Structure 1
Amino acid sequence: MQGAVTVSPSQVPELLLNLATVRPVFLWGAPGIGKSSLVREFADSLALDCVSLIGTQLAPEDLIGVPQIVDGRSRFCPPETIARDEPYCLFLDELNAATPDVQKAFYSLILDRRIGSYELPPGSIVIGAGNRATDNALARPMASALVNRLAHVHLRASAADWLVWAAGAGIHPWITDHLTDRPDHLWSAPPKTEEPFSTPRAWHMLSDALHSFGPALDEETLKVLAYGTLTPGHATAFCGYVKIVRHSYGLEAILKGDASWPRRIEDRDLLYYLADSFRGRLIKDLPAQREHASPAVRQMAYRAKSLLVQLAEISVEVAQTVIADGDDDNPVLPSWFLLEAARDMPRLVEARR
């Protein structure tokens, strides 16, 4: 949908409280960001049972029922999961992935709150949810008549909200600590190929696996788990972070000269992680204009140029990631630092010989 205004998970309960109680709502969002959990938690907050119907697993008769002869007349009898006496939350998950016939069967439930002669009890609420076609997920076009029967809410992933939730949900501390430092790693856009990608659900799965293996988890198994659940770049960063946690090997020690860049091939993930942290530190600490740099910052910049030389001796590719342009092809580090680095690099290389 074009021009959609997104909301974070923490905003959803208030929106649903005032919207879903008067009109049916459709919750849009990428796979794995918690749409289903939010709906179930909202239903619990209202003390309503949550009845989930998954659009991709339904046929029209699963909703409207099958005809029966009652008093000499045929009538459709909806299934008992729907035909309840007490108010409840009807959750139509993956609604826009259902076949057109199933979507049509939802019309009367969504607009008129009834199926055949059965009417939803007063106080019941109807909420639909689905993925967007842009997320490479199964999504069929919804007819304009169905779209117009729903109020639409667009959900985005929020690291701040997820970390608040994770603190009380038993998420593994390696994950919460890592995502506190790298909140941009919580979610990544679904890839065009069949490979894992980072979502709140993926991090939750990884957390369960880490708890299951316990402290005896070795590095190779950790890689299997991380690369089996996360975006490859995020998996590399996470494995590097875990090495730091386990071996007290941090960027601060390298900046101070108390430690050097790891050189072993098997520590390449750690090297990438430290280089990425180094880049982040330079972006944070170096001012846009050299004249605004304090003596301490200038000293740090000189040390950074020397560290770049040392890093390039180990891997030119990794060193280049530190000074690389951003996604918009514009420099991320200040131009004065990049110019000084280009000018001083030969001298620094010569000094190390």
Structure 2
Amino acid sequence: MNVAVVRPVFLWGAPGIGKSSLVRQFAASLDLECVSLLGTQLAPEDLIGVPQIVDGKSRFCPPEQIARDEPYCLFLDELNAASPDVQKAFYSLILDRRIGSYELPAGSIVIGAGNRATDQALARPMASALVNRLVHVHLRADAADWLKWAANNGIHAWIVDYLTQRPDHLWSAPPKTEEPFSTPRSWHMLSDTLHSYGPEVSDETIAMLGYATLTPTHAAAFRAYLKTVRHAYDFEAILKGDARWPAAPQDRDLLYFLAETFRARLARELPADKRHASPTAHRFAFRAKTLLVELAEISLEIAQLAIANANAEDGSPALPSWFLLEAARDLPRLVAARA
């Protein structure tokens, strides 16, 4: 806040991580109206206005939505996607906080936002003169922060519970082709559609909605998670030995999801250095090796996926190297014991 009242701020971040929502929430916290201008839909005259003859002299009249008497938050969304002429029109507004003879009221805030060129989104290079007039902040999606927000903003309970277990599925890098991908925005869209359908929504409809808004991997995992919720499958019961891995062919997607949950649990609860492992972590590591053997008896492929190398594309977390070495050493003995 101390920066934005004296210098314009520019937010960089991938599509769908909540840049626009963050600005609107910030403005609301200050009791300021947020006026949003979308760079891709503007022409220069939308900013500088049109000339009018006053006392025999031409004078530019800025548009009503900009020329206000009370302080407000001016949000220049997709600023770096605007045409060069529109970006030039922003210069005086950003540098001098004025358009023609109109000056922003004291206490007004100017914030810009845009995607990066690496996000497969529309992004034009910004002139160095414009770059140098902005205070730059780079944002990323954070599951802990988003889940706190979601709990108070009506996000569907299934989505909150799922992302609590799989925070690594909140966001995925934009693909190079035109297909859905996972972002806080897409999870919010999925939440809205699930609320619209109600609690009786079918598994087939959930799959359709998931594949329409998320990456294929995340959509399949979310559908399998809901099978665990609806049909009383529970990884905790498997971990405690009160239940077994589902072995029926029709439950293969469920088995895959439980194996992913198993991997995420290993990554979360086992420290990178064995010397820092608590007694509880050691017991969990020992039980995990038995569970791997039981999983391999059903599907060797899924068991291998559970301990495979981390994959940056699907967001699978890395497992501690000491656990993988112990597993490679102990699994033959555990297999022999079960035989």
TM-score, with structure 2 as normaliser: 0.89
| Pair 1:19–1:271, CA change in 2 (3 A) | same
**Offset, 1:120:** 1.2
What RMSD over aligned residues (CA atoms) do the two structures have, in Å?
2.5
Q: What whole-Å deviation, never above 9, does each CA across 1:142-165 have from its counterpart, x for those lacking one?
A: 000000111111111111111111
Q: How does 1:84-233 map to 2 (within 5 A)?
A: 84-233=68-217
Aligned CA distance change for structure 1 residues 216 and 327 (closer, same or farther; 3 Å): closer
User: Hey, what's the Cα distance between the residues in 2 that align with 1:111 and 1:306?
Assistant: 64
Name the amino acid aligned to 1:308: L
Cα 1:311/1:279, change in 2 over 3 Å = farther
- The one-letter code of the counterpart of 2:293 is S
How many residue pairs align between the two structures?
Answer: 329
Residue in 1 that maps onto 2:32: 48
Q: Aligned in 2, Cα 1:61/1:248: closer, same or farther, shift over 3 Å?
A: same
- Residue 26 of structure 1 aligns to a residue whose secondary structure is strand
> Are the counterparts in 1 of residues 307 and 324 from structure 2 also a CA contact under 8 Å?
no
Distance 1:89 1:154 in 2: 20
| CA-CA distance at 1:348 after TM superposition | 6.5
Question: Which whole-Å CA distance do the structure 2 matches of 1:340 and 1:292 have between them?
Answer: 20
Give 1:278 shift.
2.4
Contact 1:309 1:348 (8 Å CA) reproduced: no
Moved more, 146-155 or 70-79: 70-79
Given that 1:288 and 1:334 are in contact with CA atoms closer than 8 Å, whether structure 2 keeps it comes out as: no
Structure 1 CA distance for aligned equivalents of residues 73 and 182 of structure 2: 30
Deviations 1:163-210 (A, max 9, x none): 111111111111111111111111111111111111111111111111
Where does residue 334 of structure 1 map in the other structure?
324
Q: Distance in 2 between matches of 1:80 and 1:160?
A: 40
- Structure 1 stretches of 5 or more lacking a match? 1-16
Partner of 1:311: 298
SS of 2:53's equivalent in the other structure is strand
- Give the superposition deviation at 1:311: 2.6
Quote the Cα distance in structure 1 between the aligned partners of 2:219 and 2:69: 49
Given that 2:190 and 2:209 are in contact with CA atoms closer than 8 Å, whether structure 1 keeps it comes out as yes
Deviation for aligned residue 1:256: 4.5
- What does residue 44 of structure 2 align with? 60
Q: 8 Å contact 2:295–2:302 — kept in the other structure?
A: no
Letter in 2 for 1:319: A
Q: Cα–Cα, structure 1 residues 297 and 137, in superposed 2: closer, same or farther, change >3 Å? A: closer
C-alpha separation in 1, matches of 2:206 and 2:46: 43
Cα deviation for residue 303 of structure 1 reads: 2.6
1:253 Cα offset (Å): 2.9
- Which residue identity does 2:16 align to in structure 1? G
* Cα distance, 1:327–1:342 mapped onto 2, change above 3 Å: farther
In the other structure, the counterpart of 2:315 is none
Partners of 2:150 and 2:225 in 1: CA distance: 19
Which SS does the other structure have where 2:118 is aligned? helix
What residue number does 2:253 align with? 269
Is the aligned partner of 1:36 residue 2:26?
no
Name the CA shift for 1:224/1:298 in 2 (closer, same or farther; >3 Å). closer
> Given residue 242 of structure 1, which amino acid in structure 2 is its aligned partner?
L
